[in-house]
Every structure is written in C-alpha cells, then in structure tokens.
A and B are shown apart, each in its own frame.
Chain A
Amino acid sequence: MQDMLLLTMCKQGDRDGLRRIYEKYRDGLLILAIALSGDVNISEDAVHDTFVKFAGSVRDFKLTGSLRAYLAACVANRVRDLIRTRRNQACSLEQHRLSSVDLNDPSRAVICNEQLERLSSALAGLPHEQREAVVLRAYGQMRFSVIAKSLGVSVNTVKGRYRYGIGKLRSILNGEVRK
C-alpha cells in the first residue's frame, strides 16, 4: 500500500496503518542501522526509538518527500546519538564500530545473514561520517541535499564524505576480492 495512504490511515487513528508502516520498513531500517553501527543492540534501540517517536507524532506529520528516506534519516541520527551516549570517553565512534560484537550470535534478538555481515564488515573501515553518507545514499536513495539537511551539514560536505567513503570502499572491497 502506498505510504501516503498508510499515513492517512494513521492520521485517522487507524492502528493498522501504523502497523503496516512498521512491517514495511522494520527490516530495512534494522539493516541500515546495523550497517551504520555494526551493533545489533544499538540498531534495535535506534529502530525502536524511531518508530515510537514517529508513532507519537504521526498525527501532525507532513510527508514532503519519501517516507523511507525520512525514517532512514531518523534512524541514522538516532544511531549516532546512541553511539555517542554509550561510548566511554576513550572510545571514539570508529573505535566503537570496530569493537562491535558478533552479529550472528544466535542468542541475539536480531539475526543477520551473511551478506549483511559482509556489508557491515566493509563499512567498518570507514569513519562514521563517511559511512553515514554512503549508507543513506545507497540504502535510502536519498539525494545529497536531503542527506545534508538531515545531518545538518552542507551539501558539499556530504558529497565530499560520500566520494571519499566510496574511494575507501573501493580499496576495501578490492582487498576483499583478492583475499
């Protein structure tokens, strides 16, 4: 069902509308969050918080672009906040990312497949800012201007981060192929 229709259902108080939006985007947003953070706990919390916040404000929500991109930006921002909150003082965003735990631990609430593990592993080599730009562009298919707005930086900064991130990914992925 189209997002606009689902949103209209939500605005009219129809819980089914919200449930369908949740079902439609839950997995994708979790993948996005895991790609960004490499941490399933943070990802689960980020997606949880995003949906709770969205559900609480959907009555006044006005969709100006793509709902997918909007939710992706919310998750990205929440991931960043959660990493900042949870890291200890000696642990930077990157260090946190690299110290992430086994994504496929069967005792976890969210289990990732092999491709997601590879994706997460490749992105781990990028600084967080570059990872955000690459992931939002690749997953959310967001325009640079939209990413820039959601991250609160200039378009040129996002473009620079994206290009630099892609450049690094090229060598990371080539290295992976050679292995």
Chain B
Amino acid sequence: MRPIAKIKTLFAQSNVTVGSEADSKMVNDALSAFDESMRTETAVVQPSVRRTIMKSRITKLAVAALIVIAAALSITLLQNAAVPAYALDQTVAALKNVRFMHLVAHNDAGQIEDERWIEVGMDGFQIRYRQENPVPRNFGVIEDGESTAVYRNDKRAVIIYDRKDMQYQWVGELGKAFENLRREGKILQENADYQDRRAHKVWWPMLSSECYVDPETKLPISIGRTQLTYEEPPAGTFEIVIPEGYTVIDKRPGTVTEPVPEWLLEEENAQQNKAECFNQGTHALARGDYAQAAKQLEQALGYDSWACFWLGSAYYGLGQYDLAVEKFTKMLDIFKEFSRDADQLCSYCYYARGLAYARLGMDEEAKADWQVCLPLMIRTLRIPSAGWTFEYADNPLIRYGEYKPSERETVIKMINRLRLITGENFGYDPDAAAEDKEKAIAAWEQWFESSGQIKFSPDAEILPAPETAEDADK
C-alpha cells in the first residue's frame, strides 16, 4: 500500500475518546465566546424605527417587489456592463504607462535587503536608477541619467563611470521583460488570495517568478519576494551625493582625477581576465570539451555566479562527481545569499546536483534535491517557459544568443530529465496528436500528485531532441 493511502487509512481508523470534563470545558468556553460575540452584535444593531416598519406585512411585500425589480434591472445592467476577464495585455499596457517603479525585498529578519527605484522612459528603457543593498552587501548604485556612481562602502569610495561604460539594471531592458510577459506569461489564477486581498496570479517566465497583479490597476504588486509600488520617488533619489569621508574615483572620459587606487586596478584587471576565461570556458563546455571548460571556468570564478554552475557541469562531464556536487552547492549558496526565492530560481541546480549525488551512489541526497526541483519540472510540461532556466543551464550558448531552444524542445528535454530521475515513461510522443500528449502530461501530473517514487534511471528511454529548426517549430 502506498504511504499516503496507508496514512489516510490510519486517519480513517483513528479514534479518540474525550473525557467529559475536557469536553465540557471546550464546548462551554466556545459557547461563552459565542454568546459574548453575539452580545456585541446586539449592542451594535439596536432595534430601530426602520426595523419596526419592516415588521409590517405590507412593507415586506412592497420591499420584496422592489427587490425583484432591482434584481431584474441589475441583471440587465450587468449583462451590458460585464466585467471583462483579465488578460496579460492589460498588465503590459499598464506597465507601459508606468514612469516610476519602487521595488523592495526584505530578508527573514524583516530588514530591507534590496531596494530599487527606477525611472522608466517612454521607450521602456531605464532612464535613472537607484539600488541599495544595506545587508548583507552594504552596496549601492545611483544612476542620474548621465553617470553611474557605485558606492563601495567597504572601501569608503565612490566610483563614478560614464553611464555608457557602466550600467546597472533590475531585469535588463524593461520593455523586453514586458514583452516577455505579454507573449509567454501565463495567468495561473484570477482573483487569487494574496495577503488578504484579491490579486491575479501570473507566471512571468523571464523573471522565473510568480507575480501578483492588482485587479484594479493591472500592475504587478509583487514579483517573487519583491514588493512593487509605482509612486514618484522623493526628491534627490537619483542625485549622486558623495558621503562625507568617501574618496571619489572619477572614471568618466575627460575627467581629471587622482590616480586610480591599487585595489581598484587589481579588481579591474582580475575582472577582465575572468571575463575572458568565462567566455572561453562556456564555449568549451558547449562543445563538450570538459577539461578545457573546467580549466577556464576555475579561473572565471567570481566573475559571474553561472561560472560556478558551469564549472560543476564541466566536472560532471569529466566524471568528477564529488567536485560537481561541491560547485553546485556553492552555486546554491550564492543564490540563497542574494534571493529568498533561491529554491525556485535554482531548480535546475538542485536537478544537476541530484544527478551528481546519484552518480556517487548517494541516493537519499539525490532524492532530496529532486524533490525540490520536481514541481517546476512538472509545471514545464504545460508552461514550457517555466523550464527556461534548465535549458539555459544545459547550454551556455543561450547566453550569447547563439542558441535558442523552442518550446517543443524544452518540453521534450524536460520529459527526458523526468524519465532519467524517475524511471517512469508515460509514453510521451512529441509527434502524437494533442490529446495523446495531453494524456501523457496528465499522467505525469497524476504521478507527481500521488507522490510516485523517484528512482535514478540512467537507462531510461530518451526522446531525441529536435535536430532542425523545422523540427523544433512543429
């Protein structure tokens, strides 16, 4: 018998005998609270003239007739002025009219860990920007439209760049993010409950996050753990101000400045070298040259958090699974430091680490990791864009725009991943009729809901990925 069935059976057969004293106390206390609340009610709604009049039978009939007429009228009016269903286009249109965005994320202790103000231009591009990360990084950025000031509080220094040379962003080009929502977003639930209010729950693929949309304004009010508002910021928000005692390092062209400090020169040179190694390492990984990828990506650590993940992938490719586990774990730690949504954002990382654990024979650890990533994997079967990060993780060329998986390919690959870690098949055929594919997807969902077993199955039947763009677009 399956564990959940057994638990349900035990629940059904469980029984308690409640002593009369305990029973009396519970019921009497509840009735006292009930009586108390009803007394309050009576005090609030005192009998009034209106109630006295309502006791008249004629009045009751007259009111009943009025209610019938009002109901008929309201039905007609409602038919003429039906509330339109929510559509993502409405949110995109509302966002296009937004001039300011205020984003705040708190940590578990209730402290602000990330606060950003963004002024958005009519073209959807960011005009001015402010970011503060008081904890744990103690870091800040202000862009005033022409220059970018980076506040290195650890060095008590402000580095000022020309905006063309250095730009910080929330999600890259905002216009593209909005377009992504319009084209690939999914409405998960209309009028869902969100923090004691109604909000539409939406999946925003580019941000790999669920967001909640205000039904009135159609604007997102939260994305993942980040809360959004759209008020105009206080005066001076985008003004670059130098704190007292801070050194200014002005790197804008044509400016005369003090010699660049040694620490910054070292940081910049190191960063440049890392960037080159990262580029070479990711391309080596994409062509399957794992030894070269590992060598280069080791040098690129710290340049980009993905260096750590792809280094893990290179070690996995080399069969050095213990090192792969170490790097994937490091990647998870990095994400957890910067985002409270790490589990969701890093589903692919749990998947990859689970594979490495499984190869090491650490089945329990593998299962624990796969439990975390399974919900997103199953979701991808219906919402392919949900599995975007898995594709990105598997092929670094996506980063450079040199490769773009289709939705069909994303689903096929996700089915393969599921088969690999579960041993289940469910007969998904990408070329079958829609209803047959639907049956297979429903079977996967049913398997997930009923807590089917996870079982690493390296010999699982793997579906061929589309080889041509034509195949991919089928």
B-binding residues in A (CB < 8 A): 10, 13, 15, 18-19, 22, 26-27, 30-31, 34-35, 44, 47-48, 51-59, 108-113, 115-116, 118-119, 122-123, 134, 137-139, 145, 149, 154-157, 159-160, 162-164, 166-167, 169-170, 173
**Given A44-B22, A119-B10, A156-B376: A19 and B31 within 8 A (CB)?**
yes
**Given A27-B16, A111-B17: A162 and B451 within 8 A (CB)?**
yes
Interface size class for chain B? Answer: 35 or more
Q: Are A54 and B18 in contact (CB under 8 A)?
A: no
Which B415-474 residues sit within 8 Å CB-CB of chain A? 448, 451, 453-454
Shortest Cβ distance from residue A170 to the other chain B in the assembled complex, whole angstroms: 5
Please name all residues of chain A whose beta carbon is closer than 8 Å to the beta carbon of B41 when the two chains form the complex: 13, 59
**Given A48-B25, A109-B22: A55 and B31 within 8 A (CB)?**
yes
Q: Are B17 and A110 in contact (CB under 8 A)?
A: yes
Q: Are B22 and A167 in contact (CB under 8 A)?
A: no
Known: A56-B37, A110-B22, A166-B3. 6 other contacts (CB 8 A): A27-B18, A51-B26, A109-B21, A113-B16, A167-B451, A170-B2
**Given A31-B14, A157-B343: A22 and B27 within 8 A (CB)?**
yes
A–B pairs, 24, beta carbons within 8 Å: A26-B18, A26-B23, A27-B18, A31-B11, A44-B22, A47-B26, A52-B29, A54-B30, A55-B34, A56-B37, A58-B37, A59-B38, A110-B17, A112-B16, A113-B14, A115-B14, A116-B15, A116-B16, A118-B10, A145-B189, A156-B344, A159-B375, A164-B371, A167-B451
Bound-state CA distance A115–B14 (Å) is 5
A-binding residues in B (CB < 8 A): 2-4, 6-8, 10-11, 13-19, 21-23, 25-27, 29-31, 33-38, 41, 189, 193, 210, 343-344, 367-368, 371-372, 374-376, 448, 451, 453-454
Please name all residues of chain A whose beta carbon is closer than 8 Å to the beta carbon of B4 when the two chains form the complex: 134, 137-138, 166, 169
Shortest Cβ distance from residue B368 to the other chain A in the assembled complex, whole angstroms: 7
Please name all residues of chain B whose beta carbon is closer than 8 Å to the beta carbon of A56 when the two chains form the complex: 33-34, 36-37
Please name all residues of chain B whose beta carbon is closer than 8 Å to the beta carbon of A44 when the two chains form the complex: 22, 26
